[in-house]
């Protein structure tokens, strides 16, 4: 299991706490520090069964200043997430061939069963 984690995000910390309480093995991916690749984002999208717009935080300053109101292809949206990883919804938990956005935390709880 892998969690795309932002330590400054309360929902992300809540997900880590839940994984620890359940004593699950997981890898922490500090995507803001380490960055993301287009391939990695495409794999996440496949596992989430979502489109790029579904995983973008549209209230972020980076989105509003650089992309809001523009007509963008899915490839352009993925490139925007690579350029501004802060745009990625969080936390995202990947397990095998599936993934979930762990907010609200109930979605993560359902995913673990």
Report the alpha-carbon distance of residue 102 to residue 90 in Å, rounded. Answer: 7
The number of folded domains in the chain is: 1
What is the reported pLDDT for 22? Answer: 94
The pLDDT value given to residue 60: 96
- Give 36's Cβ-side CA count (13 Å radius): 26
* Residues spanned by the domain of 42: 2-112
Note the pTM of the prediction, 2 decimals: 0.94
Helices (H), 1-113: 10-21, 31-34, 38-48, 61-66, 74-83, 105-112
Question: Could you give the CA distance from residue 75 to residue 101 in angstroms, rounded to a whole number?
Answer: 21
- Report residue 6 as tokens: 């932002």
23 given a catalytic annotation: no
Catalytic residue selected from 1, 9, 16, 82: 9
Tokens 């061939």 correspond to: 97
CATH number of 99's domain: 3.40.30.10
Q: pLDDT below 50 — which residues of the chain?
A: none
Residue 113, pLDDT score: 78
Task: State the pLDDT at residue 112.
Answer: 85
């Amino acid at each position: 299991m892998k969690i795309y984690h932002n330590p400054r995000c309360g929902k992300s910390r809540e997900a880590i706490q839940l994984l620890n309480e359940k004593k699950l093995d997981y890898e922490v991916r500090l995507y803001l520090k380490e960055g993301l690749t287009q391939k990695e984002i495409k794999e996440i999208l496949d596992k989430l069964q979502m489109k790029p717009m579904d995983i973008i935080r549209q209230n972020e300053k980076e989105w509003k200043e650089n992309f809001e109101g523009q007509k963008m292809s899915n490839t352009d949206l993925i490139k925007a997430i690579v350029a501004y990883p802060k745009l990625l919804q969080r936390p995202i938990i990947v397990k095998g061939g599936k993934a979930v956005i762990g907010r609200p935390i109930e979605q993560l709880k359902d995913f673990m069963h």
